[in-house]
Amino acid sequence: MKSVLITGGAGFIGSHLCALYLERGYKVICMDNLITGTKDNIASLFDDKNFSFINHNITTPIHIDGDVDMVLHFASPASPDDYLLYPIQTLKVGSLGTHNCLGLAKAKKARFLLASTSEVYGDPLVHPQTEDYWGNVNPIGPRGVYDEAKRFAEAMTMAYHRFHKVDTKIVRIFNTYGPHMRLKDGRAVPNFITQALKNEPITMYGDGSQTRSFCFVTDLIDGIYRLSLSDLNEPVNIGNPNEITIKELAFSVIRLTQSKSKLKTKPLPKDDPRQRKPDISRAKEKLKWQPKIDLEDGLVLTVEWFKQHV
Ligand code: UDP
């Protein structure tokens, strides 16, 4: 039986990965320090004898007894609100945390997969974003703590691949949504759904003309699973290329929840990317992956989950 260590395993994406790898017959070691993750996300997994949880801050050295075949490094605050709240932790988990995870992968002769992000492209000047675009990032802005940590993490990952011959993978994750997002996560989808369900004003930042492309979480983790088993070492974008404006997203959420909420404009955060859409040609060609769940269906599933938790 193969064993996989998932850092950030109690977070939004990490918890879905824990469930998926258990389902596919892996022994799963979930590691999290619970600053943004929660045990609620993994509560249903504790009965599985192949699941274990370790509360650990991976910016300090990681010790695991026994074999580890794969390290999936998903630990990091990931909401712009959280980068403001935890700027130093965000930088440390992307740099020191990634170094510790790579060191563990090297020692255990394990595969390593880094959760990177579309934020490495910053406020992109190339649209849609292909993996060979180097990005347009402000290193000293409020988002710089996340963007630069992930860019450093990618550089460190490639260095371990080239120098230590670790079998590494990098997934660049675009906006993702679904069950297990925190109600007060701060990102657009959970904010809008929570506000709509409470008939409170929908906080639209700026004029809402900025775009994003939202991927449902089950599609995302299917792409990550395929990448983890592939022989690819170059970065791969995983996301849904269906691009919409934030204003359109707000109206979709209001409609699907039959809410009485109205839009309330708030200032656009500094360095908020104007547009974002993944070019997924590489994932299609090399992983035979593409998203299956359209935004409408994904939002309905997400609203159902939020209704039980608001
Ligand atoms: N946004 C918004 N209202 C909110 C939260 C976010 O208008 O309550 C906007 C935000 O300014 C950005 C987009 O929605 O343009 C997506 O933001 P999110 O935080 O979800 O992810 P990002 O892609 O910026 O990391």
Backbone angles phi, psi at 193, to 5 degrees: -65, -45
What pLDDT score does 68 carry?
98
Backbone conformation region of residue 114, classed left if phi is above 0, alpha if psi is from -120 to 50, else beta: beta
Catalytic residue (one of 86, 146, 177, 225): 146
Q: Do the domain assignments include residue 9?
A: yes
What pLDDT score does 219 carry?
98
Q: What is the three-state SS of the chain?
A: CCEEEEECCCCHHHHHHHHHHHHCCCEEEEEECCCCCCHHHHHHHCCCCCEEEEECCCCCCCCCCCCCCEEEECCCCCCHHHHHHCHHHHHHHHHHHHHHHHHHHHHHCCEEEEEEEHHHHECCCCCCECCCCCCECCCCCCCHHHHHHHHHHHHHHHHHHHHHCCCEEEEEECCEECCCCCCCCCCHHHHHHHHHHCCCCEEEECCCCCEEECEEHHHHHHHHHHHHHCCCCCEEEECCCCEEEHHHHHHHHHHHHCCCCCEEEECCCCCCCCCCCECCHHHHHHHCCCCCCCHHHHHHHHHHHHHCCC
What pLDDT score does 48 carry?
98
Residues 105, 198 within the same domain: no
Q: Is the CB of 37 under 6 A from ligand 1?
A: no
What pLDDT score does 297 carry?
98
User: 0.95 cut: is pTM over it?
Assistant: yes
Question: Percentage of residues in the chain with pLDDT exceeding 70?
Answer: 100
What pLDDT score does 175 carry?
98
CATH number of the domain enclosing 57: 3.40.50.720
What pLDDT score does 116 carry?
98
CATH number of the domain enclosing 193: 3.90.25.10
Backbone angles phi, psi at 12, to 5 degrees: -60, -60
Q: Is the peptide bond before 190 cis (omega within 30 degrees of 0)?
A: no
Total domain count, the chain: 2
Q: Do the domain assignments include residue 72?
A: yes
Pocket test of ligand 1: the residue of 175, 187, 194 to mutate, having most ligand atoms within 8 Å of its CB, is: 187
Pocket test of ligand 1: the residue of 119, 138, 212, 214 to mutate, having most ligand atoms within 8 Å of its CB, is: 212
- Residue-number span of the structural domain to which 44 is assigned: 3-177+216-241+278-287
Residues 264, 132 within the same domain: no
Per-residue model confidence as pLDDT tens digits over 56-65: 999 999 999 9
What pLDDT score does 269 carry?
95
Backbone conformation region of residue 288, classed left if phi is above 0, alpha if psi is from -120 to 50, else beta: left
Q: Is the CB of 175 under 6 A from ligand 1?
A: yes
Residues 145, 202 within the same domain: no
Q: Do the domain assignments include residue 201?
A: yes
What pLDDT score does 81 carry?
94
Chain-centroid distance of CA 31 in Å reads: 16
Q: Do the domain assignments include residue 127?
A: yes
Residues 203, 229 within the same domain: no
Residues 261, 200 within the same domain: yes
Q: Do the domain assignments include residue 183?
A: no
Between the CA atoms of 141, 147, 195 and 182, what dihedral angle is there, to the nearest 10 degrees? -130
Q: Do the domain assignments include residue 78?
A: yes
Residues 144, 205 within the same domain: no
What pLDDT score does 195 carry?
98
Residues 261, 282 within the same domain: no
Q: Do the domain assignments include residue 182?
A: no
Per-position pLDDT tens, the chain of length 310:
999 999 999 999 999 999 999 999 999 999 999 999 999 999 999 999 999 999 999 999 999 999 999 999 999 999 999 999 999 999 999 999 999 999 999 999 999 999 999 999 999 999 999 999 999 999 999 999 999 999 999 999 999 999 999 999 999 999 999 999 999 899 999 999 999 999 999 999 999 999 999 999 999 999 999 999 999 999 999 999 999 999 999 999 999 999 999 999 999 999 999 999 999 999 999 999 999 999 999 999 999 999 999 9
Residues 164, 247 within the same domain: no
Residues 224, 194 within the same domain: no
Closest ligand 1 atom to residue 268 Cα is 11
Residues 129, 268 within the same domain: no
Q: Is the CB of 80 under 6 A from ligand 1?
A: yes
Residues 203, 221 within the same domain: no
Q: How does strand 3-7 pair with strand 215-216?
A: unpaired
Question: Is 146 marked active-site?
Answer: yes
Residues 160, 195 within the same domain: no
Q: Do the domain assignments include residue 10?
A: yes
